[in-house]
Structure 1
Amino acid sequence: MAGTSLWRNSNYRTFLGIQTLSAIGDSFSYVAIPLLVLQVTGSLVQMGIVTGLTGVASITTGVFAGVVVDRFDRRTLLMICDGARCVLYGTVALVFLVAEPSWLIYLVVPLAGVFSMIFQVTYVAVVPAIVPTDQITRANGHLYATYAIASVAGPALAGLVAAAFGAAAAIGVDAITFAVAAIGVLFIRLAARPAQPGPADAEAGGVRNEFLAGARFVWAHPLLRQLTLLLSLLTFLTYGLTDTVIFRLKDELGQSDAVVGYVLTAGTVGTFVASSVVARVRGRLGFGPSWISAFSLAGLAVAGMGLVHHVPALAVFMAVMLLGSGVAGICSMSLRQEITPSHLLGRVTAAFWTIHSALGPLGAATITALAAGFGVTPVLVVVGTAMVLIALSGAFSSIGRAGVTPAAEPALEGARS
């Protein structure tokens, strides 16, 4: 069985363990950064600005991240990215022991976003070098599961640490997890990559051509093109969602940092469920119906978060939202890994993320500003409704016709440079 052979793969298990450590670090940042901004500025708008700046840094990095990932040793890149985030977050934790300079947050968090983007592109690109193609969706499900398991404890612990010692202390724990993860990368073995175009080919194409190769591949494939367009709209709506929910818990519902951690922890249960069911759901329904249904469910949950006024109910809707977005995200990532040639995978991943994330920073600033001005409830209802409509529109495109394993398009040969 595919699942059994995966668990017998010691290299895969090592990679899984390292990703769990990185997930713990991410989960602390997920809570600690917004809390630190709120602690220093007391402003939802400033939370949105920090999120937006981080998004701009990530999107800018995405322009060249794919070329970096396809040109350089991917294991080394994983280690560098974890190490850099350890240093950056560790600096914040140490400085905030003696002062609270808000400028440091605006400097460090976007820089961390740069390394996070390179790490994420590299992470997606190395999965096919660790597991066979027919096990990619299952492996991605496992990786999401470890992320969910780490995240179940992470936000709650981050909330408790922030409540007891301050948000900066939680960021210090974040730095430690990235340090351990960086060391662990040394024990990963990756399969050799297929031969890539020679120096003459690269020189003939030029650096600009390398940057555009991933984007051309995405645009030439009808399914990836439609996904990119719809995800651009969805990203605009959801990029600042966590900041908005945290603000509602703290400002509108008067909850503590610990409760914020508990709610976000409860939400990650949805991610765990998504990772457990995605392979079966996609195998039974096919890619298109799975993606459309999952994002429609997420939209309904976002609207629900705007309508309820009790913390347990909000936590349930948070879990449902992450269940839907988790299933859709795993399906989308697995699809790209299955149909993209190895030598292009970094550039295609970076192009896909960069293009559909381009509206994210503007969305974060817009949604948080609207929530601050008109209240979180109406904004979440409108956002959730729009998400459902956008997801359902996919039924009238190539997404709705996509089967269990969509094939690569013959016309893509020209993009494989």
Structure 2
Amino acid sequence: MGEGLGLAEDEVVALASELIRIDTTNTGDPDTLVGERKAAEWVAEKLSEVGYETTYVESGAKGRGNVIARLEGADRSRGALLVHGHLDVVPADASEWSVHPFSGAVQDGHVWGRGAVDMKDMVAMSLAIARHFKRANVTPPRDIVFAFLADEEAGGMFGAKWLVDNRPELFEGVTEAISEVGGFSITLKDDVRAYLVETAEKGIRWLKLRVKGTAGHGSMIHHDNAVAKLAAAVTKLDQHKWPLIMSPSVREFLDGISEITGLDFPDDDIEGSIGKLGNLSRMIGATIRDTANPTMLQAGYKANVIPSHAEATVDCRILPGREEAFDRELAELLGPDVEREWIGLPPVETTFDGTLVDAMTASIIAEDPGAKVLPYMLSGGTDAKSFQLLGIRNFGFAPLKLPADLDFSGLFHGVDERVPVDALKFGVRVLDRFLRNS
């Protein structure tokens, strides 16, 4: 363990709590979002007070703050490593929570609040390590770029995506990156833990469906009702079963689980056998098919008026390599009368090998002897989708040693989001080892 790391372990809890108390709710609506400026300025201050030169960027919209700092490494000829995290969080209804979602309460062995696992925990761990390295005069093997970003929860259009398109020089020389939703543990049997490193994630397509019809009085007979036609299209989409696809990341994950536990995942019952994974089955089960889930409907303005158009929003998640096939299948399913437009971000996939993976594995095992480290695919999305456009190889590695009974995947965007204090301190120790040897 690095010299003086105890201060960073203690500090990470306070950093996570303070950061949660800064409301950075991202509704996706410019009229109601809070913005990340206050949090970004707070991060910049924490970095500056230990000697970092920081770059603060408001990316195309007022208040959408991003902070980037670079720590020079011993070998400037090597590709740099990007450690990135987002500052925004999804909305939370305080009436549903046991504690106020922006209290940052430290109680019952946890830090509570919106963003505790998505992803102010990793932001706090990265910030604690960045500060520790400066205080201890640590020179890492290569440059480390720390980036604290806006707007991930709405696709990064004012965060990672904007920076990649408009300020790519901030990431000059970066070849690999780590960020959220990976490196966390699942307990399999007899206190044996597997730590899941994200090597792939599904693509995002937020799809708008529009149907036109003939407007008229609600009391009369109509055969061209936009609402009815849209409802039929949405129902057809909801009932459609997309083809089962076994991506390399998913197959390697299941093979690893089988080796550890003895569970079988036969090809003729993949879905049923994934159900044996308990709470994790929600996330893993969503990585063997594309999904298209209707989330919003909009039509009409008065009870007795048949509207001339209707619109639906569908959250589509697409497996790596499936984008063209998904589009063809969608067109065949909906037909020519349903207009389609979308914004989207591509899938991500890399292999589970190389010196960076070796460093991840070694840093985990040093803190949890006997642990297994496995790749997996994330059903959601991260800012890796944008950074891959710069040719950067991306991994999810925000290490947390979690209690066996914690439904970790259920905390993302959920009620009573919280992260164990011990897991934060574990993550600091792992990241310290990892970044010193990456």
TM over 0.5: no
TM-score, normalization: structure 2? 0.24
Greater strand proportion: 2
Larger RCO, structures 1/2 (Cα 8 Å, 6+ apart) = 1
The normalised TM-score by structure 1 is 0.25
Pick the structure with more helix per residue. 1
Bigger Cα Rg: 2
